[in-house]
Structure 1
Amino acid sequence: MTDRNDSDGSWPSLRVDDWTPTRDTLHMWTQIVGKVRMTLSPLINHWWQVTFYVSARGLATGAIPVGTRMLDIEFDFVDHALVLRTSDGGIATVALEPKPVARFYGEVLEALTALGVDAPISATPNEVDPAIPFADDLVHASYDADAATLFWRQLVQADRVMRAFRAHFIGKVSPVHFFWGSFDLACTRFSGRSAPPHPGGAPNCGDWVMVEGYSRELSSCGFWPGGGEEGAFYAYAYPEPDGFADAAVGPDGAFYNSDFRQFLFPYEKARTATDPDAAVAEFLQSTYAAAADLAQWDRRNLECDPRRWDVEPGRQSMS
C-alpha cells in the first residue's frame, strides 16, 4: 500500500481497494463532525459553511462560533486523534483507532459536552445508501492509521495545486474545501449567472440541498478518493454546455465519464507523471477553459494573474 513511484515520495500511492473499509468508516466520522459545524454555523451560499480544510496535520473545520466563543475540530492524521479546541482554552480528544461509528459518535458527543458545547445534529448520514443512523452503526469500524495518513498526504498535494489554480480567478470562487457528504476536495468557479434548478437525486439528501449548492452557473473541479485505482481528479460544469463531453482536454489519460457526467484524471496518472503538478494543473485549466468557452463566460473580466504585483516598475516584490 505504501509503494511509491514518484521521485521524492510527496505524491503517495494508495490503492482504493486497499483502504475501502477505512475510507467508508472515515466518511461516516467526518459526517458527524461536519454536522456539528453545520448546526452551529450560519448558512453561506452553496453550503460553504459546512466544509473542512486541509491542514498541516489533517482535516480541520476552522473556527466555529459557539455563543461568544469559538470551537474548532481537527482530524489529526499524524497523531491520529480528533482534537476539539475552544477559544477559552478548553481541549478534548477522541482517539482515531478501529472502532464502530456508534462508539465514535458517542465519544464526540461526550467531548462536546465536556467543552460546554451544545450541538444537536441530524444523526443520520447523507449522500450514502444505506444511511445507518450513527448511534446504530456497528458496520463501519475500520481504521488503518497508515492509510489515513496516506490519504491526507494525497489531499495535501491536491490542495496545493488546486490553490494555485484558484488564484487565477478574480470572480466568485469557492475556497479549496472538503465536502464530507460526497467525501471529496473541491474548488468551484462561477460565471455570475443564475442556473436552472438542480434536479437533485443524491441518496438520503433532500433535493433542496442540491438546489442551493447549484443555484449559479459553475465550473467545478476536485479530488475524489474513488474512481481510478488510487482515486481521481474530476471536473464538471453545471449546467453542462453543449459539446462539453467532446471537448479536447489534457493531459493524456484524462477522459469524460458519461455516467458521472464529468472529466476524470486518475490520480495514479498524475502521481507517475514527469511533473505531477503540471499534469494536474493542465487538467484543471483545460477542463475549465472548455466549460467557460462553450458557455461563453466573460473570461476577460473573471480571470487574473496572481503574480500581477511582482514586477511592477518601481515596486519591490513582497515575496
Structure 2
Amino acid sequence: MTHTTSQKAASWPEIPYVAWAETCGALHLFTQIVGKYRLAHTPWVNHSWHATLYANGRGLTTALIPDGPDGVEVMFDFLDHRVVAETPGHESVSFALEPMSVAEFHQRFVELINTVGGNPQFHGQPNEIPNPTPFEDDTRSRPYDADAVQRFHQALVLISQVFQQFRTGFIGKVSPVHLFWGSLDLAVTRFSGRPAPEHPGGVPELPDEITREAYSHEVSSAGFWPGGGPIEAAAFYSYAYPTPAGFDAATVMPADAYYDKNAGEFILPYEAVRAASDPEKVLLSFLESTYTAAAELGGWDRSSLECPTGKPLIPRPI
C-alpha cells in the first residue's frame, strides 16, 4: 500500500510537552529503573550502547538481558500499558502502568524480576537529573496519561524509522538507533574515526569516566527529546563533539532549525516537522545538513565514510 504525503503527515501525533509533563517525568524515571537493571547485568559496550532501550511496535524494549537462567527481556508495552518481563520459553509476567509513585514502580519492578528468576540489584538513584531522589524514597504520587504515552510511542516509531534511514548512509562507525534513559532521548551518532579531546565531564549525577568514554572519539550526533530539560518543548537536536569552529553559524535545513547557544546544538522543533506536508523529508534535511556542517567544518574524511542511502535487498557495492 502506498501512502500519500498528506497521509504520512497526518500520522505524526501532537505531543505538547506541557500537557503531559508530569507523566513524562514519571516515565523518564521508570525507564531509568529498567535501564539500570539492564546496565547492571550486561557486559560493557563502547559508548554505553549496552544500557539503552529500543523502540518497537508496542513500546520500548531492553532486548534480552543476560540475567537469570536463560535471560530476561523487559518491555514497556504502551498499547496495553503494562511493564512486561519475559524469559525464553516461559510465559511473560507483567504489571500495569498506571498512576503511582516512583517508589511503587520500583517495588513492583523488583518483584517482577524476582518472579522470572532474575537478580533485581541495580544502582538505586537517577542519573543526569540534578538533586536526584533515590527511587525507593520518591513516594510522591505521579499521574499516568495513557493517551499521551501512546502518542509519544507513535512519534518514537515514526522518528526511529527516519533515523534508521539516515543511519544507512554511512559506512563508518555509527551507533544503533536507541533511547538513552539518562536524558530520555532517542539518538543516532556518526563517528569520524578519530580520537577526541578528553571530555570535561560535569554531566549532573553521571560519573565523568562514563562521559569521557562516551565521547572518546569525534562524533556528529542527532536525536529527539519529548521536552523538558534545556528545551521545554519536544524537539530534535544535532551537535558535534568536539564542536568545530564556525559550527554555530552554519547554514542548515529546514528554515525552522536554529542554533541554541545555551544547549550548544542545533534545534528543530518537533511541531515544525509534524506540521510539514512531508515530515520525513523535513527531518532528513535536518539530519543531513547538520551532519554535513559538522563533517565539513571538522575536516572528516567524508569520501571514505559516506555512502548512498540503503535500499532493501541491494548489497553495498565493494
TM-score bin (small chain): over 0.9
Structure 2: distance between partners of 1:298 and 1:160: 27
Counterpart residue number, 1:250: 253
C-alpha RMSD of matched pairs (Å): 1.8
SS of residue in 2 equivalent to 1:93: strand
Q: CA offsets, 1:18-71, max 9 Å, x none?
A: 000000000010000000000010000000000000100001111111255121
- For 2:92 and 2:167, how far apart are their aligned partners in 1? 34
Residue 275 in structure 1 maps to residue 275 in structure 2: no
Aligned partner (choices 287, 307, 311) of residue 311 of structure 2:
307
Q: Separation in 2 of the partners of 1:31 and 1:74?
A: 13
Alignment of 1:1-319 (within 5 A): 7=7, 9-66=10-67, 68-139=69-140, 141-226=142-227, 230-305=233-308, 306-307=310-311, 310=314
What is the distance in 1 between the residues matched to 2:19 and 2:138? 22
Give 1:3's aligned residue.
Answer: none
3-state SS of 2:66 partner: strand
Partner of 2:3: none
TM-score normalised to structure 2 length: 0.93
- Unpaired runs of 5+ residues, structure 2, are 1-5
* 8 Å CA contact retained: 1:24, 1:140: no
| TM-score, length basis structure 1 | 0.93
Please state whether the residue corresponding to 1:278 is helix, strand or coil. helix
CA distance in structure 2 between the partners assigned to 1:192 and 1:307 by the alignment? 25
Identity score, percent: 46
- Listed one character per residue, the Cα deviations across residues 192-224 of structure 1 (whole Å, up to 9, x for unaligned) are 000111111111111111111111100000111
SS in 1 for 2:254: coil
Q: 1:151 to 1:112 in 2, by over 3 A?
A: same
Shift of 1:311: 9.8
**SS of equivalent residue, structure 1 residue 273:** coil
Corresponding residue SS for 2:175: coil
> Which runs of 5 or more structure 1 residues have no equivalent in the other structure?
1-5, 313-319
Shift of 1:310: 4.1
- Runs of 4+ displaced beyond 3 Å: 6-9, 227-230, 307-312
TM-aligned CA deviation for residue 138 of structure 1: 1.6
1:316 paired residue number:
none
In structure 2, how many angstroms separate the alpha carbons of the residues matched to 1:271 and 1:229?
A: 17
Residue 130 of structure 1: SS of its match in structure 2? Answer: coil
